[in-house]
A = this chain, B = another copy of it.
Amino acid sequence: MSIENQIESLLFISHKPLSIKELAKLMSVEIEEIKNALAELEKKYETRAGGIKLLKIDDKYQMATAGDSGEIVKKFIKSEMTGELTRPSLEALTVIAYRGPISKAELEIIRGVNCSLILRNLLMRGLIEAEEDKKKAVTAYRITFDFLKYLGLSKVEELPDFEKLNRNNNLEKLLQGVENINN
């Protein structure tokens, strides 16, 4: 059986996102092969535009129902998802979605407010996750699949103006300036 089909099977039964590394280990296959197969699979799901979507965040993948079926699936599984978010939460999530993985300091420069409490709140709601960057000794935040499911998108790159807001050159300058002040 092809690697692509095996990956599809695993993503289908799994209750959680799977990373390229996990898949490679499980299947005893080179990372490169997994990557290629996933790229193929991604393309197919995008072209089909059916009732199942393949979601992607960085090197992790998860299958989910298409946004168009949102209402009927919600009814079927009796989900209480409302998608309600406060303005500060929404702002923080936006910045993290466009610029993640992002440090707390960077987020605070963009929002102009201390974000400790809001980050904690979003972590508890499972809308973002934290990851230690051991090299830089900082914590980086990124959005989770749960937040992607709020949006009904396959990946953050589908957000409007992603290119522009992902790499904001003015911001790079500003961040450097602030680092200099802090040092």
Contacts and interface: CB of A to CB of B under 8 A. Distances in A.
A112 to B, nearest CB: 6
Range of interface residues on A (Cβ < 8 Å): 35 or more
Interface string A1-24: 100111111111111100000000
Nearest to A146: B114
Given A15-B117, A16-B117, A117-B16, A73 B126 contact: no
A107 B50 CA distance: 38
B114 A7 contact: no
A63 interface: yes
Contact of A51 (B8, B72, B109, B124): B8
Contacts of A51: 1, 4-12
Contacts of A72: 6, 9-10, 26-27
Contacts of A79: 26
Contacts of A1: 51, 66, 68-69
A125 B120 contact: no
A129 B111 CA distance: 13
Contacts of A65: 9, 12-13
5 contacts: A1-B69, A8-B69, A10-B69, A13-B65, A13-B76
Given A4-B50, A12-B52, 7 more contacts: A6-B51, A6-B68, A8-B51, A14-B76, A26-B76, A113-B124, A114-B126
